[in-house]
Chain A
Amino acid sequence: MWDLALKNIMRNRTRTILTTLGILIGIGAIVALGSIAEGLDAAIQSGLELTAGKITVMDAESSLFGMGGELTLEDVALIEGLSGVKEVVPMNWHAENIQMFQGPEWVAVGVPPDKVEYLIGENTQFEEGRIFEEGETEVAIIGKAISERYNAHVGDTWEIKGKFFEIVGVTEETGISDIDSSIAVPFDDMQDILDSEEFQMMYVIPDNVKDTEKVANEIEEASDKFNALTSQELARQASQIVDQIRIFTFGIGAIAAFVGGLGVMNTMIMSVMERRKEIGVMKAIGATNRMVLQQIITESALISLIGGLGGILLGILGSVLLSNVIGGGQITATVTPQLALTGLSFALFLGIIGGLYPARKASQLDPVEALRYE
């Protein structure tokens, strides 16, 4: 019946195309917006690789992304005194030129020079130059993505709020955006720039990776001020947030798609009315109510499926555009197969729901009445 359905929906091309567009735009919105959530998820997942085996300590009052917070060097000393703690790495940062939707142009993170490997990754190799030496000041290590974007290399100078840093190293490309897009500078220099003794976050490295959970508990017990998160805990929290974003973006797109679904319903009602007589003939020559029902639903599902497929293409296009706009290229909005399937399923769902009422009406047409209808 699919061939007949295709024939039927192509009778009024303009109407079918316009109806399809309604679904196409809705599903496009679901896929494009959803791709941001997927991109964010991927970015967070890759960022979490960096924190594997580390405990992230933040001020209990601050949010997951380390906004706010008032940690001090005394807190560092307190945690260093706990058993099972190998290293405590305080971090402070400056985000340059934050813009709505785009995020910051770049982020410079201050870290004690002798502990910089915990920021850039213990196993990361250098493409150019070297790692910090202990006690060094006014030096910077930049990630590969930063180096490429700003054409900055070893020997060049990087300016952060009027303070100049000599680039001494460029790290290799790791695929982890937190490393590739980072600028590491000495902690003390960043304190000067920020004009603040306080900072927002620290990494705690346990002596033994197996004790991560235990050490995290100890830290939280040491002071109410601390919120110690293991990478598993971070992953859990992050995925909760990503799920919320997923639901939110789907919700926005779904509204648009739902309007498209009403369009499908409207088109099918019109189509059934126009074809009253024809449906009567079909029934007279032996089509059962069920066959008529299936025929109309197939037609409306077909319109929606075409719209859904177009919507996925539109969504992919949209995700490419959004990648360039949102997060300054740090988040790659991605259309995952799962997201595409969600879009297509939703289109099909709308098609079937939208077709149900007109199909029911059509199937219940009295052939005698329909045949004599002029």
Chain B
Amino acid sequence: MNKKAAKAEKKGKECVIQTKGVMKCYGEEDKCVTTVLQDVDICIEKGNFVSIMGPSGSGKTTLLDIIGCLLKPTQGDVFIDGVRTAELSDDELALIRREKIGFVFQQYNLIQSATALENVSIAMRIAGKSSWEARDKAKRLLEMVGLKDRLNNRPSELSGGEQQRVAIARSLANDPKIILGDEPTGNLDTKTGQVVLNILKKLNEEEGYTIVVVTHDSRIAQYTDKIINLLDGRVSREDHPNNHNHVKGLKSTKKKGGD
């Protein structure tokens, strides 16, 4: 077991995300052909902003998929907000994703034929909210990420940064505890990436969301509380950057109403 994870456990800190001895491999039936992750023990504390770094093929996206309940580990345990996910059915995992996790992807993954408002509403419709309730809240969330004037635009009419902000609004739709980002700024230029990062940072600092992002950009990682480095499917190192107090331009964006 990784030292730091063990230490966190001893101290009795609350891990909102915890993995114990997670192993993931691909192959036929019982035969393990390619091992993607091995002995991954991590603890992500509540309210932390954590980045997962590592070279291509180090297994960082796979780890994010496992944390996000999109993928089941071959071995080991995963706890999300205290719930052991290893033995849950597909539908139960879907429920966890719906209620506890918000996703932000590198490719934004918005529904192309739907407007910004509809893209955010749909997450709430899945959770069984009425069409009016969903629209109302989607509007507020989009206003919060600064897209007040873009409610009825389709993804093709939005810039990359705007699309990613729609995706962030969508990830917040069902009041999750955790936001997972898979290279959320990977498709954006530095300046736009900074805007998106600021929003995430603000959500973390002001609203207390636990945020985990996969990135290969060390500058982004420097903004986070903790960097989990992966190498060849194993946690190689955990860093705690010291400058997690200030993100440029964040001070001026104060929380206004909302949820």
Contact = CB atoms under 8 A, between A and B. Distances in A.
B220 to A, nearest CB: 21
Contact of B91 (A7, A284, A288, A367): A288
B126 interface: yes
Given A3-B131, A290-B91, A371-B105, A285 B98 contact: yes
Interface string B194-238: 000000000000000000000000000000000000000000000
Contacts of B111: 278, 281
B122 A284 contact: no
A280 B65 CA distance: 13
Contact of A287 (B94, B112, B113, B173): B94
Nearest to B98: A286
Contact of A288 (B70, B94, B112): B94
A246 interface: no
Contacts of B95: 286, 288
B14 interface: no
Contacts of A286: 94-95, 97-99, 123, 126-127, 174
B39 to A, nearest CB: 22
Contact of A285 (B107, B112, B114, B170): B170
A371 B109 contact: yes
B94 A283 contact: yes
Nearest to A295: B126
A95 interface: no
Interface in A332-374: 367-368, 371
A282 B122 contact: yes
A277 B91 contact: no
Given A284-B103, A371-B105, A289 B91 contact: yes
Of B102, B103, B110, B170, the most chain A CB neighbours within 10 A belong to: B103
Question: Which of B111, B127, B174 has the most chain A CB within a 10 Å cutoff?
Answer: B111
Contact of A282 (B113, B126, B131, B173): B126
25 contacts: A1-B125, A4-B122, A4-B125, A8-B113, A277-B109, A278-B112, A281-B110, A281-B111, A282-B126, A284-B70, A284-B103, A284-B109, A285-B97, A285-B126, A285-B170, A286-B94, A286-B97, A286-B126, A286-B127, A286-B174, A287-B94, A288-B94, A288-B95, A289-B91, A371-B107
Interface of B: 65, 68, 70-71, 90-91, 94-95, 97-99, 102-103, 105, 107, 109-114, 122-123, 125-127, 131, 170-171, 173-174
